Amino acid sequence: MTDEPTPILPDDEEKPPQGETTGGIRSLRELIDRVAGRGMRSLSAEGDAGLAEKLPFPFLALVGQAEMKLALLISLINPNIGGVLLIGPRGTGKTTAVRSLANLLPQTPRSLCYFGCMPEDIETGGIDAVCPDCAHKYGMGEPLAKMDAVRLVELPLNSRLEDVVGGIDERAALHARMRVQRGILAQADRNLLYVDEVNLLPDEIVDAILDAAAQGSYTVRRGPVASTYRARFVMIGSMNPEEGRLRPQIMDRFGLRVIVHGLTDVEDRLEAYRRVHAYLTRPRQVVLEYTQDTLVASAEIQEARNRMPKVTLPEPVARLGLALVQAMQIDSLRAEITLFEAARAYAAADGRLEVNAEDLSGVAAMTLRLRRSDFMRDYFAAQVAEETQLSEMVKRYLPGGSQ
């Protein structure tokens, strides 16, 4: 159920490809642009023993799909964006792109407590906000959390509700102890939660995800036993619209919405084939070719993530964004929240501490797309005549109504 990031560990005798350098890279955006425009080297056909290894396809080896790659990267930089929804036909690289993030995932504070207690809980709620063990540790000056790599947690389409939220720990029950076992949502806390074919999830699982995403935690009750788990995750979903629509409630939980089209340029499609063919036959060599750039990109993502608290949004720039949202006639306040948070991450990825109009432009499409509702527009339009008639009747029949 959980895909752990697979570290890139080339053999000692293997060296990074010669002639490929990341020297002079000034930002994550510049690195991605440079690597994306590079062709595949000719690889040796001899001696690749990595066919049975779990080696994700290198993210930097993806051809084209600039908006999809940008959306995934800035969601790593700023979890407050609210996740990413990838919409497109089969075979356009959606799942490959998400799984290829494994070697780029940044570090995040991870609780050392079974109940997920964190230092910020004490800062906001006092010493009673954590369990007794953590309260004792805090009083002794012991750490409650440690830095750990973000993980990619996948939610299989055939998951049961108990798999998702948790159920009775059967091994503990054999010893006459009743305990709730953590589910996938609890495992996803401070991680990425990937849901492929998100539009095909059963309603009960969608409801569980919505509740956890809205509250940042959820409670599981099984008879007399109850446990509450934190579930602060970045959700990434992918779907093929021809297989069914996505419920509006869960669509609203995705901050960024990306329409993934197939590659249209012949040269891009040929280069994509070459890279896939090389990966299928000699995966370790392909991973090795992108090792140096991947390590640099991972470090840039971490630096950009650390830079996020310092990135500011000037009021004149914010008003430009608000004018755009109003012009689009979008009602939801999540539109400007996502727009501004994505623009801050875009600036951080470019090594800057202040958002400008170009940052808004770079993320506007993916943040505002699919936020207008034809149903609500028609519904409110139909109400205009009734509201006009109601106002007239109030003035005519109620005392003081004509004043």
DSSP 8-state code for residue 354: B
Cα–Cα dist 343/349, whole Å: 10
* Given 334, 352, 369, 372, the catalytic residue: 334
Cα–Cα dist 400/393, whole Å: 12
Nearest one of 278, 267, 347 to 314, comparing CA atoms: 347
Per-residue b or e along 66-88, where b marks 16 or more CB atoms closer than 10 Å to that residue's CB = ebbbbbbbbbbbbbebbbbbbbb
Q: How many CA atoms lie within 13 A of 256 on its CB side?
A: 33
Apex CA 186: angle with CA 345 and CA 208, to 5°?
90
Residue 397, phi-psi category: left (phi > 0), alpha (psi -120 to 50), beta (remainder): alpha
- Tokens 């808004």 belong to 360
> Which tokens go with 41?
């080297």
> Which tokens go with 261?
């089209």
> Which tokens go with 22?
């990341």
In 200-248 the beta strands, taken as DSSP E runs, fall at 217-222, 225-230, 234-239
Does residue 334 have an active-site annotation? Answer: yes
**279 and 286 in contact (C-beta within 8 Å)?**
yes
Paired residues of 147 in beta bridges = 109
Q: How many CA atoms lie within 13 A of 388 on its CB side?
A: 6
> Which tokens go with 5?
């990031």
Q: What positions carry a catalytic annotation? A: 334
